[in-house]
């Protein structure tokens, strides 16, 4: 009995432009780069600043976006 041939399924792909960029957050006290994140440039064009835990300072400090 001959095997049935499978037809490849054709999927329509939507081309979506990825606008997220990789950023690095550095501690403002010890200058260590502790966190890697992504952000959308369109929604947040300014540099990101947030309080996060620094394992080198062993406390929550302000982290700023670096290049």
Distance CA 32, CA 27 (A): 5
Answer whether residue 9 is part of any domain.
no
Number of helices (H) and strands (E), helices first, in the chain?
0, 4
**pTM of this structure:** 0.68
Answer whether residue 62 is part of any domain.
yes
In this predicted model, what pLDDT tens digit does every residue of 27-67 receive, in sequence order? 999 999 999 999 998 998 999 999 999 999 999 999 999 97
CATH of the domain at 42: 2.20.28.120
Provide the domain limits for residue 25: 21-66
pLDDT at residue 12, rounded to an integer: 65
Q: Residue 8 above 80 pLDDT?
A: no
Distance CA 46, CA 4 (A): 58
Give the number of domains in the chain.
1
Please calculate the CA angle 67-59-61 and round it to the nearest 5 degrees: 40
Answer whether residue 13 is part of any domain.
no
């Amino acid at each position: 009995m001959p095997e049935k041939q499978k037809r490849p399924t054709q999927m329509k792909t939507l081309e979506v432009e990825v606008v997220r960029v990789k950023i690095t957050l550095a501690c403002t006290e010890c200058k260590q780069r502790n966190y890697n994140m992504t952000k959308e440039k369109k929604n947040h064009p300014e540099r990101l600043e947030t309080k996060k835990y620094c394992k080198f300072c062993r406390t929550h400090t302000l982290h700023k976006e670096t290049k």
